């Protein structure tokens, strides 16, 4: 019920505010939009994780975020697909770089699927 009310409020055109202690703070429009997306996802029953893009992650945390194995993340780092920095003998990656890699892969995947669909529709009988 509270999520529905929050979603409805965020969908209005009026400025949104947060109450931090006794201080009322106006949300910038970009933050309001992200918050609206979070509330809608939660209302739909999805899990949501909010991550600072500058946060440094271990290779295991990056693997968890990507849904792959830690050794695969190490291979991606070694191939230059994801930037990293060293913390002693450990690799660390920025959360934003991991998310950017995930988005690049999703874009590539969509492009290839669109091409496969286009080619299958050119076949006799079309795509079924």
pLDDT at 30 over 70: yes
pLDDT computed for residue 10 by the predictor: 61
**Torsion angle defined by CA atoms of residues 48, 52, 56 and 59, in that order, rounded to the nearest 10 degrees:** 20
Residue 98 lies in a domain: yes
Are both 71 and 108 inside the same structural domain?
yes
Are both 11 and 64 inside the same structural domain?
no
For residue 86, the enclosing domain spans 56-122
Average pLDDT over every residue of 91-99: 97
Are both 60 and 38 inside the same structural domain?
no
pLDDT at 20 over 70: yes
Region of poorest pLDDT, from 28-32, 93-97, 102-106: 28-32
Are both 61 and 111 inside the same structural domain?
yes
pLDDT tier, 7 (very low <50, low <70, confident <90, very high otherwise): low
In sequence order, what E strands does the chain have?
A: 17-20, 23-26, 56-57, 85-87, 90-94
Are both 117 and 61 inside the same structural domain?
yes
Residue 92 lies in a domain: yes
CA distance 78 to 72: 10
pLDDT at 1 over 60: no
pLDDT computed for residue 70 by the predictor: 98
């Amino acid at each position: 019920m509270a999520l529905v009310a929050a979603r409805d409020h965020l969908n209005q055109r009026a400025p949104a505010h947060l109450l931090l202690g006794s201080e009322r703070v106006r949300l910038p429009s970009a933050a309001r939009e992200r918050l609206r997306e979070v509330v809608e996802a939660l209302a739909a029953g999805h899990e949501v994780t909010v991550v600072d893009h500058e946060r440094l992650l271990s290779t295991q945390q990056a693997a968890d975020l990507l849904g792959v194995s830690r050794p695969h993340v190490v291979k991606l780092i070694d191939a230059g697909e994801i930037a990293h920095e060293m913390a002693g003998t450990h690799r660390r990656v920025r959360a934003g770089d991991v998310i950017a890699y995930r988005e690049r892969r999703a874009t590539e995947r969509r492009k290839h699927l669109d091409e496969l669909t286009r080619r299958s529709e050119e076949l006799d009988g079309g795509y079924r």
